[in-house]
Amino acid sequence: MKSKNILFLSNGHGEDTHNCQIIKAFTKISPDTKLSAMPIVGAGNSYQNLGISFIGPTANMPSGGFFYLNPLFLLKDVGQGLISLTWQQLQAVWKFAKNCDLIMATGDIVVAAIAYSTKVPYVVFLSADSSYYEGKINLGLILPKLLNSSRCLKVFARDNFTATDLRKQGIKKAEFVGTPVMDNLATTGKSLQLKPGLFTIGILPGSRLPEAGRNLSLLLKLVKEVVKVMGENVCQFRAATVPILMSELEALAISEGWEYRAGKLIFFTQESNIEVICYEDAFADILQESNLIIGMAGTAIEQAVGLGKPVITIPGEGPSFTYRFAEAQTRLLGCSIQVIGKQPANNFILEEAAQKVKETLADREYLKICLDNGLERMGKPGASQKIADYLVKYLSYQE
């Protein structure tokens, strides 16, 4: 019997992560199916970590895929060969589609359009669109055609509110089964060196360099302000970083007046020392153990909210985590996120954010609300398995 081929399309780091969770679930129930990927944005590191092969070229662009936040970012991308890269990717998809049985497209109208153009049956996870942004999705003229095509088998929405809205607007095949990224948050059992009786604050600086480094510098300033407001020996700080950022911690520490000691960033004060312990392999553990998150990230903050954690964010310089992005994130994820400031964080904004950390940790009623809000916005775990089951079921009917 001929082996089946599935192509996973995605256009963003978060979208790659969603697809990879689906792939993990899929391979457990259908290990003989050939899986390939075409990340339209970025290098597709998540796929590479799973050993999934690419069918075309990939590249990191200056905007990191966030050129919609600033027209200048798009110009930089074009200057770095975006148009040529996209054309090569499209050609690769069309060539591969000749022997492809199914396409799993995760993202927005871009990947839905690419999937439609192949004439191959496809499933869409509309991860980048939510009715929470404006109260109702503006589908425009093209997206309904893509989603209502007979070759579009199913539309998975990113939340139940959106699925209901899509069905009201005529996308009857829309359904919400949860969010795949909520399926990779099981703790590893790694020791975080936590002291009992202290609040644990998780730090999420993002994953794209050099922006993640700038974000971490800002968040370290915020840590110092939090200690000023909360007092000594009240909070402990754990940062979830990517490996490439870990390799730059020593230089970052020196530039910020901290000392670096084997994963620990230490700031010496007259009273006592402030310590931030960084891990590159304990993301889920840090999220699970944290009482509150301070962060400047995308998907990672979505996951924190899904776990019911309160999140304090401060705008950065970008290109991705700016005030515009952070404000949109609050509409998407609701009351669990509090954005402090409308410009790249200065001393006044940092002081205000630190005060908000103190107020939030003392507000038990609000902390309970965050638990309910996280479940509403991100859903229960298990989405990856449900989507994978749907893909396998379709392929089995084609044999």
Residue 255 near residue 278, CB atoms below 8 Å = no
CATH number at residue 385: 3.40.50.2000
- Assigned domain for 15 exists: yes
Residue 269 lies in a domain: no
Q: Are 96 and 114 in contact (CB under 8 A)?
A: no
Are the CB atoms for 10 and 106 separated by under 8 Å?
yes
CA separation for the pair 52, 83 (Å, rounded): 25
Band the pLDDT of 209: cuts 50, 70, 90: confident
Non-local (6+) Cβ contacts of 172 within 8 A are: none
Statement to judge: residues 31 and 82 lie in one domain: yes
Residue 125 maps to a domain: yes
Is residue 266 one of the residues assigned to a domain?
no
Domain around 323: 199-243+276-378
Q: In terms of domains, do 144 and 29 share one?
A: yes
Residues 180, 203 within the same domain: no
pLDDT over 70 at 170, yes or no: yes
Min mean pLDDT across 56-70, 158-172, 189-203 is at: 56-70
Per-residue pLDDT of 156-167, as tens digits, reads 999 999 999 999
- Examine the pLDDT at 190 and tell me if it is beyond 70: yes
Instruction: Specify whether 300 is located in the same domain as 214.
Output: yes
pLDDT of amino acid 80: 60
One domain, residues 43 and 110: yes
Specify whether 171 is located in the same domain as 215: no
pTM of the model: 0.91
Confidence at residue 76, expressed as pLDDT on a 0 to 100 scale: 61
Of the segments 41-55, 58-72, 248-262, 293-307, which one has the largest average pLDDT value? 293-307
Arithmetic mean of pLDDT, 291-298: 96
With a CB cutoff of 8 Å and minimum separation 6, the contacts of 87 are none
DSSP, collapsed to helix, strand or coil, labels residue 382 as: coil
Name the more confident of 76 and 329: 329
What's the CA gap between 33 and 2, in Å, rounded?
10
Average pLDDT, the chain: 92
> Taking residues 87-92, what's their average pLDDT?
92
How many structural domains are present in the chain?
A: 2
The Cα–Cα gap between 237 and 222 comes to: 11
Alpha helices in the chain (DSSP H): 13-29, 45-50, 71-79, 82-97, 109-117, 143-148, 160-168, 211-230, 243-246, 249-256, 283-289, 299-306, 323-333, 347-362, 364-378, 383-397
Has residue 282 been placed in a domain? Answer: yes
Same domain, 80 and 209: no
Indicate if 54 and 69 belong to the same structural domain: yes
Q: What integer is the mean pLDDT of 306-323? A: 94
pLDDT for the residue 334? 97
Residues 10, 96 within the same domain: yes
Confidence of residue 67 (pLDDT cuts 50, 70, 90): very low
Query: Rounded to the nearest 5 degrees, what angle is found at the Cα of 385, between the Cα atoms of 167 and 395?
Result: 80
pLDDT at residue 244 is higher than 90:
no
Determine the pLDDT at residue 307. 97
Identify whether residues 31 and 132 lie together within a single domain.
Answer: yes
